[in-house]
Amino acid sequence: MFGKKASFNFTLVLLFSFSLSSPDFAALLSFKASSDPFDSLSSWVSSSASNPCLDSWLGVTCNPVTHRVTRLVLENLNLTGPIDSLSGLTQLRLLSLEKNYLSSSSSLNLSLWPNIKHLYLSHNRFAGNFPDGVSTLRRLLRLELSYNNFSGGIPLNELARLTRLLTLRLEANLFTGTLDSGDSSIYSLVDFNVSGNKLSGEIPTWLSRFPRSSFTGNENLCGEPLLLSCSNRTVPSEPVRSDNHGSRGPSKAVVLIIVIIDTVAIVAALVTVTWCCRYKARAHRDVTTKPNNKAHSFVGPHTEPRVDEEKMVAFEGCKGFSKVDDLLKSSAELLGKGTVGTTYKVVMDGGGVVVVKRVRDNLRTKNLDGWLRLIGGIRHSNILSLRAYYHSKEELLLVYDFLPNGTLHSLLHGNRGPWRTPLDWTTRLRLASGAAEGLAFLHSYSKAKLFHGHVTSSNIIVDHHGNACVSDIGLHQLLQTPKWTNNDYKPPELTLSSSNNRNYTQKSDVYSFGVVVLEILTGKMASGEGQESLVKWVQSLGREEWTWEVFDYELMRYKENKQEMVALMEVGLLCLTSLGKDRPKMSMVHSMIEGIRTKGAIGGVNCVVNNLSSDSSPALSEGTRTNSIGRQL
């Protein structure tokens, strides 16, 4: 006993000694002494009994093994003075000092933080040239220096060495010079802004992909996407009004003529392209179909067209065709092959566009038409409606509306490169709520006990208004042997050897939807990285590790919504509970997400906790409810 007590005391001594000798401890206290006149950092206590890594120091996060500071977030705390003392925090991964009054006593040197990934210094009083040492930060992802007093040139040739850089925000400073980076380009950038500076010259082609708002406020900057040609550049980007003493810019009449000429040119180009496309499409329909053509007859080389008398079974909203022959002779494009069948985009002769799913095998035959008529009668704004179907002994054709905005899977994972448009947080939350509402409606349908059977991000499609629509509803209940294209969505109660859907319930849909929620939050695919699935990876992490290393890097710009993201993560993990009986109903999941959208993170989830407590048919066991929502928020 004495030996254990002595060892314990010795450990405490080591920890206290570490606090006093640690360069991080000294750097933080030095920063507080020079930059905190209003005692906003009162939790930073300079005593031998205090440790920034073991106590609750505001904004400080440490590595649990090395006890070195890795994150420092001190925003809008009225901090003032130089930040030079923070140079001792050499293990920082994230530093955010936004909306203070901080500066640097000399030229800011970023190489002092060699491991930094996220650096946010906007809305302060930093001045002087662009910070030194930026080219050494090979792990840097986000750099925001906007709303300061930096001047001089922007070293784009040095920044081009940062192959992982995603964000470069430099607006509202005093930068001069050009945006010329020589032969170097930063194609990894997805967020770029240099507006409100004193830059000049032509915008390089590799930067012209960013919106006009990224460059406005630089009087002598020209080129795309600004509406100002660089040829004969003699005027500022904004026209100067004429007065009785002459004009420094083009007259209104000249500007009007330029606009008219540009408009006529654009219209002419559009007419030409449209005519070419129509001519090409007509030519494709007139020639003999070839198996490898992208656009070919929907009949294909191996199927004979049906006679005109064979009618489609049509439902509400079916437009542009009434016979199966109308589809079989139309131009079609293969969209993909899934567990149910092959999907085509079909362009009708009248110009209408539909999606046709072709199912040829594995269909159950008992009461198939009755089941399809049931599905065809389901109408909800978050469900992709079945418009028509045709059934013969050989095949089944299912007709749906064509929604051009793609699937949630493509929006989250498609083209993760320089030309990608990131999916913002508000849209992600709206799509999650819409998909949940569609599934909840399906589960509550009064005419039959329905479930989806294969919920994935690929089966959630975005309509013309940006709403999520769940597709393929009820179709897996048509199959004699349901299949899974991705077992990472498969709930635990369905083993890999399951040959039927006898164990499948509505709670299985809930599990699969939980995987979709993790995709929305992390930006990762359900299959995860390496051999580990996304679910196992997230479940292996403690809540304290739900940092920006877990959430999608594209969500970094919405730091004010982090608590909403944490709350949605809680909802996703509730859906992923091992036992189906302990998972919430989809109606409850939808209520949770809507609560987060309308009432914020804590208010929305707490509202649902109260509903869970009063639910007559409990969706969660008491232990699950306490250990998940109650404990975390």
The model's pLDDT over 490-515, given as tens digits with 9 standing for 90+, comes to 888 886 444 445 578 899 999 999 99
Report the candidate in 14, 32, 10 with the shortest Cα–Cα distance to residue 22: 14
Domain 24-222 has CATH 3.80.10.10: yes
Domain 310-402 has CATH 3.40.50.1980: no
**Residue 293, pLDDT score:** 36
Q: Is the pTM of this model over 0.95?
A: no
Q: Residue 289's pLDDT band (boundaries 50, 70, 90)?
A: very low
Please identify which residue in the block is written with the tokens 């039959």: 448
Q: Residue 134's pLDDT band (boundaries 50, 70, 90)?
A: very high
Number of Cβ atoms within 10 Å of the Cβ of 60: 21
Which superfamily does CATH assign the domain made up of 405-495+503-609 to?
Transferase(Phosphotransferase) domain 1 (1.10.510.10)
Domain borders along the chain are 24-222, 310-402, 405-495+503-609
- What number of residues does the chain have? 633
Report the candidate in 120, 209, 86 with the shortest Cα–Cα distance to residue 556: 120
Q: What is the pLDDT of residues 141-158, one digit of tens each?
A: 889 999 999 999 999 999
DSSP assignment of 34-101 equals HH-TT-TTTT---STT--TTTS--TTEEE-TTT--EEEEE--SS--EEE-GGGGG-TT-SEEE--SSE
DSSP 329: T
Q: Residue 106's pLDDT band (boundaries 50, 70, 90)?
A: confident
